[in-house]
Amino acid sequence: MEKDKISTRVILDVAKRDGTDPVNLPPLHNTINADALDALFELDGDGETEPKQVEFSYHGYTVLVEYDGETDISLEDEQAPAQ
């Protein structure tokens, strides 16, 4: 089974957090180049990639995508007070 692309995972995570259907969200490509995001986190031929992170705003959230052995997507509500 093929893993979802990072761009798909971002959309699914935001939809889940909002309790909405992913088709009701604005297109991710209005915020970030989804193909470039997917390519950045694509594994090389050895199944490896260098550690990296990308942060961007999407649909009221600050989205942080990190890779350091495995991919993690964090969402922070942009309206939440900073701690």
Residue 83 in any domain: the answer is no
Residue 63 in any domain: the answer is yes
Residue 20 in any domain: the answer is yes
Total number of domains constituting the chain:
1
Task: Express as a percent the part of the chain with pLDDT over 90.
Answer: 65
Q: CA 39 → CA 13, 76, 80, distances in Å? A: 19, 23, 31
Predicted pLDDT of residue 14: 96
Predicted pLDDT of residue 71: 84
Residue 62 in any domain: the answer is yes
Residue 67 in any domain: the answer is yes
Please indicate, yes or no, whether the overall pTM of this predicted structure exceeds 0.75: yes
Residue 33 in any domain: the answer is yes
Matching residue, tokens 């009701």:
24
Residue 1 in any domain: the answer is no
| Full residue range of the structural domain in which residue 50 is found | 6-77
Pure H helices in the chain: 6-18, 34-40
